Structure 1
């Protein structure tokens, strides 16, 4: 059965439209697993998960796109990751979903954690992939993570000026994201993402969304002082080939979830930063096991 791609209206940020994708019609008898995508991608990041019959029969798969990404739009001009967490919770309420597990890749991981902090009765478990709970700090870089400030600042500067409606995101930016996140993509997969990015980031409104998404990535607040308030179980999956956030960082941060009934880190050998795309079999089987254990 084909995916169900729609939008839902929520009141946050002056009224917003949130893009969502179900793998199939919602089944209230099944637990729901929310999927939150990584920087500049969309719900399409989770095509491998939507195509997995085992995962699709175990849970309702529901991808929610953060502000600045995919089909999600706000009336107000600025937003943060906290805003995306609030909008996601409002979207769940609008869809009639009272409880859920949340899986997030990279930025999706820290949006997921923000959702659990804001609504612990709604979020019953967290699965974070290739993420970090810190700001782009000196501590993070000392543990082998990327220089997010150095990486993002030139792009923020390049996107500062208004552009015409014929502007589309440069191919080299898309290639750079996937080189960093997956070691590169080629052929049909590269063409798929070039087309998706051009649709999502075109014209001056697209430039603004892309720039603000990059500002958020660079300038976000860290969560270290809040992680002890997470009360649900946490499964953190991290790849050894992740070029953005390091295994030593994950090993240190997983210990900060002191209020969780279980906070566990699993290392995926050879796994890339966009782990759900590079290692879908390992991610999907781990997600099924986690949800069945904690439902």
Structure 2
């Protein structure tokens, strides 16, 4: 939730997509991150989903392969469900789908912001302060985007999907990923789960990024062999 388009995975993907695959590449930086607007506390999952959909619509009729990490994977699934004609495949890295159920258990009260909105802190080993402050309304909004609370919400997903997840992930519980994998195995036209014994939530080791690029390349090549439709 604190990554930006200058991160290691984004750079590796750009090099792989443009130089080795000869594909166009777009890196999306959500509002409140990196070089974008500094309004992180005002953002919600719905805000970021609109960012994704606007980019897809701007690209137009070209079918895209979406790579999403953590919450980005959650958003990629929503985008594929809402723009099925534009999404040809999904690579989901450490997917934080429905992670709000976990957040509700670990969130710590963090006062209020300057506008009087209640704040909570989500523990994180990936920021200096040890936690990420969000408005409670952020979690409430994210809860409205859950995909696993009711079986069958992912039935409309038909594009190929691959999950890469570390069994040592300290952010997204393994049982959530297993539940997601079970549903995608039934709905997706082609599904693959890659569980790694090492690594962590960031999946930024050299072997992780190499695996990510290899799996994306396989997905693109399979789509090219299959042809339109």
TM range (shorter): 0.7 to 0.9
- Closer, same or farther in 2 for the Cα pair 1:268/1:97, shift >3 Å? farther
1:82–1:114 Cα contact (<8 Å) kept:
no
What CA distance in whole angstroms lies between the structure 2 residues aligned with 1:256 and 1:277?
28
CA distance, structure 1, for counterparts of residue 209 and residue 44 of structure 2? 28
> Higher relative contact order at CA 8 Å, sep ≥6: structure 1 or structure 2?
1
Distance 1:215 1:152, change over 3 A: farther
List runs of 5+ in structure 2 lacking aligned partners.
116-120, 225-229
- Counterpart of 1:220 in structure 2 is 142
Within the alignment, does 1:233 sit opposite 2:183 as a pair?
Answer: no
CA root-mean-square deviation: 3.3
Q: How many residues align?
A: 206
State the match for 1:149 in structure 2.
Answer: 104
CA offsets, 1:174-221, max 9 Å, x none? x94417xxxxxxxxxxxxxx8xxxxxxxxxxxx9xx635x85357512
CA distance in 2, matches of 1:85, 1:271: 28
1:161 has 2:113 as partner: yes
Query: Residue 113 of structure 1 corresponds to which residue in structure 2?
Result: 77
Q: TM-score, normalised by structure 1?
A: 0.59
Structure 1: stretches of 5+ with no match in the other structure: 1-38, 138-146, 164-172, 180-193, 195-206
Shift in CA distance, 292/229, structure 1 to aligned 2, threshold 3 Å: same
Q: Deviations over 1:76-96 (max 9, x none)?
A: x95432332232222233345
Partner residue of 2:27? 63
User: TM-score, normalized by length of structure 2?
Assistant: 0.74
1:75-119 residue CA offsets vs partner (Å, 9 max, x unmatched): 9x9543233223222223334563201011110010101111110
Structure 2 residue matching 1:82: 3-state secondary structure? helix
